[in-house]
Amino acid sequence: METNHYLITNIFQFSEDIKSINKLRQYLDSIETIFMTIEEVFGEKLKDSKIHIKLENKKGGASCKFMRWENYSLVKIAIQNEAIQKKIFSENLWGCLFHETHHAFMNPIIYHQSANKDFNGGYDNEPFIKAFQAMVYKRLYGKDMICEKVCEQFLNKLEKGAKEGKILFKEYCDIFSNNSSNFSNFISYVKSSGILFSKKSNFRNDLDTVKDYLLKQNN
């Protein structure tokens, strides 16, 4: 199975489960519907031609994992994931492939050349990716593609999910919410510098540097 941005590499293993495959196709259509909005927030198109998906037959349906394999992004997904099999648009935009797609955008920046970049300030629970995701939800709400109730529900879940990095998550959200171009300008500036966020000990200074840059851009 293949869409504009996704390629399922082992669909043949589940070919007899027609009901689940049909739900999967509907789910991919939902993600494709909002893919352009992710690109708008990020400020660039996805570098990879396709994000590869490997389906798994895990029970419970919550499994979803991103990794970089050779020269492409790979997402492992349990085909019975609740977002795929039980949710419809826009409720199915929580987690699963939607979340991992954000990693596919950031991965080439985080693992660039010899110095890995840390945008999470040493915190677990991905406060930066969650802030990126939050900006996409807000953009979708601004386009009337998701309702206010769903948007607020997702934003609250992201804040709770950030846990130890909750304060940093909120700080990122404040930065990116000040101007609709702030996230894409953030990405562009970090890429042009080459050294920002490459040393954990400099994280706060680097973040303040980018904040000052964005402030000047907005004035």
- pLDDT recorded at residue 60: 56
SS3 at position 178: coil
Direct distance between the N- and C-terminal alpha carbons of the chain, in angstroms, rounded to an integer: 47
Domains, the chain, in order of start with CATH, read: 1-112 (3.30.2010), 118-219 (no CATH)
44 C-beta neighbours (distance < 10 Å), count: 12
Which residues, at least 6 apart from 83, have a Cβ–Cβ distance to it below 8 Å? 27, 92, 93, 94, 95, 96, 97, 98
- Give me 142's structure tokens: 């601004």
Percent of the chain with pLDDT over 70: 96
pTM of the model as a whole: 0.94
Positive or negative, the CA dihedral 3, 8, 12, 18 is: negative
Tokens of 21: 């495959």
Pairing of strands 51-56, 6-8: parallel
Tens-digit pLDDT string for the chain (219 aa):
999 999 999 999 999 999 999 999 999 999 999 999 999 999 999 988 899 999 998 765 567 788 777 788 999 999 999 999 999 999 999 989 999 999 999 988 888 666 689 999 999 899 999 999 999 999 999 999 999 999 999 999 999 988 889 999 999 999 999 999 999 999 999 999 888 999 989 999 999 999 999 999 988
